[in-house]
Structure 1
């Protein structure tokens, strides 16, 4: 069986507006001001623990406030993680097409598994994904390859291709021995030449052909 495994934030979805809103609700609870959307977008990718570390540093707060702020953020975010979030153009049709072509689909993200599943369900995509591994599922996060390999194992796939948007995803795929296709319109912080990838795209209309080619090359 061949599998296509996706990252979530910055790949399938533009989730920065909802994350930004939850961050500012957390800061507002204790009168710690707020952060703008672009700043919070730059904090996304390494999981919620690192997100809150970066928020604390940006506001000049004490590091010992991390546990309480993390709890507050998760409370606000998990209450409704898809209010302002949108799918990137073409994602719905691409996922349906890959599923119809017989690919097993999985999700590997550093976002906690609970809200990840809730977001897939909110957009009607959950029925297409046979395995979901979040940042709290296997005890380690990307770029450690364990979460990505766990998705492949759950899907029972012989061959898998990873689709993501960042240097974290590229390193994870490389360490897992998987071909990687880079979505260039997401949340990456490095230049394209600095991220290991076998293909890149800015339009989901072309991903089906790319994924099929990479899966064949990975046999």
Structure 2
């Protein structure tokens, strides 16, 4: 059995349009220029406050964050979808006996709601997000990685981290986890290869499935 921790945004799901709309709403409300979609997408991964500090400026985060979260809650399901191969991969790994988790900087309540909406929660053993009293951490805080391993009931050398950004790599390194990254989120394969060896960078979940888990690509495409 393997213990596998998946990031959420950009790894298993695409929520970038919803995030962009919510950022733009907050910026309009406080009188700032709106960031374009590509700029917002490139900043996602480090948590909402970090994203907003980059896009709105540190001085505006306190005003922008509640506006962002209000609008996000209103449109949370409007533009979200599972990335190609996500459901198949989770189902296949679960069927062979692996223990699976989502490990994300998204609020835990939002994470559970989106995973349920997309039907991905049925394949997961553990869902780990931020914003709850027992879990005030964010990637790449080592305490967050330690908390995730505790929830998975495994040691660091038994766990594998799958993500799409340097934040995921840093979270893995904070707990001495092996990490693989997919270029389906905030960074391209070339950008990710600046942080980790290219053998641990994959163009999508199908390539990851074949190279890391030994699952046949023709099975991937047929679902």
Matched, 1:199 2:200: yes
The worse-fitting range, judged by mean Cα deviation, of 179-188 and 204-213 is: 204-213
Q: Which residue does 1:95 correspond to in 2?
A: 90
Maintained 8 Å contact 1:113/1:132: yes
Displacement after TM superposition at 1:211 (Å)? 4.3
**Unpaired segments ≥5 residues, structure 1:** 214-219
Structure 2 unaligned blocks of 5 or more = 215-223
Give the distance between the partners of 1:101 and 1:148, measured in 2 at CA: 25
- Residue aligning to 1:51: 51
Q: Does 1:162 align with 2:161?
A: yes
Q: Output one character per residue of 1:97-148: Cα deviation in whole Å (capped at 9) or x when no partner.
A: 1111111111111111111111111100112222222233422211123223
State how far apart, in whole Å, the 2-side matches of 1:192 and 1:54 are: 20
Aligned positions of 1:1-219 closer than 5 A: 1-57=1-57, 63=59, 65-137=60-132, 138-158=135-155, 159-188=158-187, 191-196=191-196, 199-212=200-213
Q: Given the two structures, how large is their TM-score scaled by the length of structure 2?
A: 0.83
Equivalent residue, structure 2, for 1:216: none
Q: TM-score, normalization: structure 1?
A: 0.85
Aligned residues: 208
- Per-residue CA deviations over 1:46-102 (Å, capped at 9, x if unaligned) read 101111212213xxxx81x42221111111112332311222111111111111111
4+ residue segments displaced more than 6 Å: none
Q: Aligned to 2:77, what secondary structure does the other structure show?
A: coil
Q: Which residue of 1 aligns with 2:217?
A: none
Determine helix, strand or coil for the equivalent of 2:76.
coil
> RMSD over aligned Cα, in angstroms?
2.2
CA distance in structure 2 between the aligned counterparts of 1:194 and 1:35, rounded to whole angstroms: 26
For 2:212 and 2:159, locate their aligned partners in 1 and report how far apart those are by CA, in whole Å. 9
Indicate how the Cα distance of structure 1 residues 211 and 80 shifts in structure 2: closer, same or farther if over 3 A, else same: farther
